[in-house]
Structure 1
Amino acid sequence: MMNSFTAEHTPAEIIKVFPKASDLFKQRRIDFCCGGDRPLSEVFIEKNIEASSVLTELNTAYEKWQKEDHEITDWDAIAPSKLIDHIIHTHHAYLDEELAPLGQFVTKIFRVHGETDPHLKELHRLFHELKLELEEHTAKEETEVFPLIKEYETSPNAELLEKIHIANGGLEEEHDAAGDILKRMREITDDFSPPVNACNSYRITYARLADLESDTFQHIHLENNVLFKNL
């Protein structure tokens, strides 16, 4: 386990060791899933972020976290088939249960508050675009790509691996698109912070959107930075 993090570490590397770092990265709008394989030094320059303050905050939180009792999952050590099962039963199942009812909330607050809060029109459009993307994406994974990976695990060969790499390239592009939508949703909602006088439906919608973002980013991280990278 790392003793401390430097600007040469990537967000993806850090998340594997210190999952709670995702909170800090989200606050700073640092990508740890789709573009998580770039060194923090590049991210700091691109976003004009003062490196020392972020690294101090990150390492202070990590030092405190290390003293607590945590069950660490070494995703790199898990067989691809088991990781796929985890993704399906955890992240795909979450999307299956959450997208439709959350869509109703997004539509409700747009209809009720859209005239006074114009950004809700864009939020409504973005959410339903994301919903369609994720539904088509998870179906493709479960019916096309994941079976190829499981087959390769038991019967590895170069031709099958090439098919998987081609398919994974398309999935990673879709991950980028979903990540961009989520980032825009966070931006227009002021980090999913409802107005002071927001009704309960407004607050519930924003809280559930924040949960959707967290789950989706972890979902993408496990695929891009663990499952696909280890093939």
Structure 2
Amino acid sequence: MQNSTSNTPMDVLIEHIRTRYHETHRREFPDLIALARKVETAHATDPNTPHGLTHALESMIAELEAHMREEEEIVFPEIRAGHGARAARAIPGLRAAHDGQEAALNRIAAITHGFRLPDYACQSWRRLYYGLGKLVEDLDEHMHLENEVLFPRLGSRT
């Protein structure tokens, strides 16, 4: 979808964001949190362990969930109803939430030592970092699609 997003009808764009990103985040975060908890517990005394990752992920999904809910319950319905100007009023707050997600990703990168696995990392640890890599890619695409395609189409560049 990313190649042709500027011409995509708003309903199609919104549905893509909801199904491709919102549903994916909701489906994948619990597994990432469970893996983080498992790795932190199993390797509690290892200095390479991503100590604090479980908490960082739990905080991140809580903030992300509030953001997605605002889009799904307020912004997207306003757009679908033809009230783009009303929907645009929420955009500065949504952009601020995106900045918060970027900061959360930076915290996670720091906790994981730049997503570097030790040579002896177990399969759970490897699956965790693979999942985190996918999360970073998905969130980057998600935020780019909203910041650079959806929001400007509503007339907001703030």
3-state SS of the aligned residue for 1:121?
coil
For 1:81 and 1:120, locate their aligned partners in 2 and report how far apart those are by CA, in whole Å: 40
- For normalisation by structure 2, the TM-score amounts to 0.89
Percent sequence identity is 31
Contact in 1 for aligned 2:32/2:128 (Cα 8 Å): yes
Deviation of the 1:150 alpha carbon: 1.4
1:80 to 10, 13, 30: 10
Corresponding residue of 1:185: 108
The within-5 A match list for 1:56-205 is 73-117=3-47, 120-152=50-82, 161=85, 163-205=86-128
For 1:88 and 1:146, locate their aligned partners in 2 and report how far apart those are by CA, in whole Å: 9
Corresponding residue of 2:153: 230
Does residue 218 of structure 1 match 2:141? yes
AA in 1 matched with 2:139? T
3-state SS of the aligned residue for 1:228?
helix
Deviation of the 1:72 alpha carbon: 6.8
AA in 2 matched with 1:99? F
Larger Rg: 1
Deviation of the 1:120 alpha carbon: 2.1
For 2:51 and 2:113, locate their aligned partners in 1 and report how far apart those are by CA, in whole Å: 15
Where is the helix percentage greater, Structure 1 or Structure 2?
2
For 2:59 and 2:44, locate their aligned partners in 1 and report how far apart those are by CA, in whole Å: 18
For 2:48 and 2:127, locate their aligned partners in 1 and report how far apart those are by CA, in whole Å: 19
AA in 1 matched with 2:149? V
Relative distance call for 1:196 and 1:118 in structure 2 (3 A) is: closer
Runs of 4+ in 1 over 4 A off after TM superposition: none
RMSD: 1.8
AA in 2 matched with 1:90? R
- For normalisation by structure 1, the TM-score amounts to 0.62
For 1:204 and 1:72, locate their aligned partners in 2 and report how far apart those are by CA, in whole Å: 27
Deviation of the 1:185 alpha carbon: 1.3
Deviation of the 1:149 alpha carbon: 1.3
